[in-house]
Amino acid sequence: MVDRGKFLAAAERPEEQAAAGVPAGSAMPGPLLLMGAPGAGKGTQAKKIMAVWRMPQIWTGGILRDNRARGTDLGRQAKQVMDEGKLVPDDLVNRMVAERLAAPDVARGYILDGYPRTLGQARWLDELLAGQGAPGGALPVIAVSLAVGYNQLLRRVTGRRICPTCQRTYNVYLQPPKADTVCDVDGALLAQRADDAEEVFHERMRTYEILTAPVLEHYRQSGRLVEVNGDRSVSGVSAEILHAVEELRRQRNS
Ligand SMILES: [Zn+2]
């Protein structure tokens, strides 16, 4: 586990590097699994980390779509399963991930999003990476969990409004429009996505906690979990992530 006090002191340094577009520090970031509940800011942070460390994001939806577009065997099998309204089985997902991880752009590291989703997938990935002779050595996955309090998540998600005309987003609690309910730019009536309704939020949170608990525990037990306070500014959070990951890589190398 990473000492929070230590990395907070240096939190501004990676941020300056980020602004300069220079990869932070010298440690190889390696594979990172980014985890966060709905509203935790996972998408925003993924973009920041990708820009600083210049590494790709790998998500199963994207791999699936790519396989189907290329008409691969795996893609056809997945399509058949999905057409039957079933979940794509672990085995098939794992094989597609293995193929994706053989591409040269992942050599320094990559961000995993939504995979591994189960304990079985997490263990399978550990074995795959342990047996892989990737350039610079195949580093094990570090899981980064963005921790944000329940009530803050609730406000972030249920307060979200979008302008149907210009797509600008607002938050009625955190970033309200000048006039209630209408867009500052074009005066259009703001809308809420169905997914952001309060009942849907509670349900998504329950599902998230049930699904991720065993995966989180897997990384915690093997000393590869970094928990970051996600209830801060976007740049503060990304600085903390970059530093915590570097710190953990260094500890594991020494
Ligand atoms: Zn608008």
Superfamily (CATH) of domain 4-55+108-253: P-loop containing nucleotide triphosphate hydrolases (3.40.50.300)
6 is a catalytic site residue: no
Q: Is the pLDDT of residue 144 over 70?
A: yes
In terms of DSSP bridges, do strands 169-171 and 225-229 run parallel, antiparallel, or are they unpaired? unpaired
Ligand 1 centre to CA of 242 (Å) is 34
* pLDDT, tens only, 172-191: 999 999 998 999 999 999 99
95 is a catalytic site residue: no
Q: Is the pLDDT of residue 122 over 70?
A: yes
pTM of the complete model: 0.80
Instruction: Compute CA distances 1 → 87, 111, 135, 181, 208, whole Å.
Output: 34, 20, 26, 44, 23
Ligand 1 centre to CA of 139 (Å) is 45
Distance of CA 94 to the CA centre of its chain: 18
* pLDDT, tens only, 198-237: 999 999 999 999 989 999 999 999 999 999 999 999 999 9
Ligand 1 centre to CA of 251 (Å) is 48
* pLDDT, tens only, 93-117: 999 999 999 898 998 899 999 899 8
Q: Where are the chain's structural domains?
A: 4-55+108-253
- CB burial of 143-162 (b: ≥16 within 10 Å; e: otherwise) equals bbbbebeeeebbbbbbbbbb
Q: Is the pLDDT of residue 32 over 90?
A: yes
Q: Is the pLDDT of residue 20 over 70?
A: no
Q: Quick one: pLDDT at residue 252? A: 82
193 is a catalytic site residue: yes
Q: Quick one: pLDDT at residue 17? A: 45
Ligand 1 centre to CA of 28 (Å) is 42
| Rounded average pLDDT over 131-150 | 81
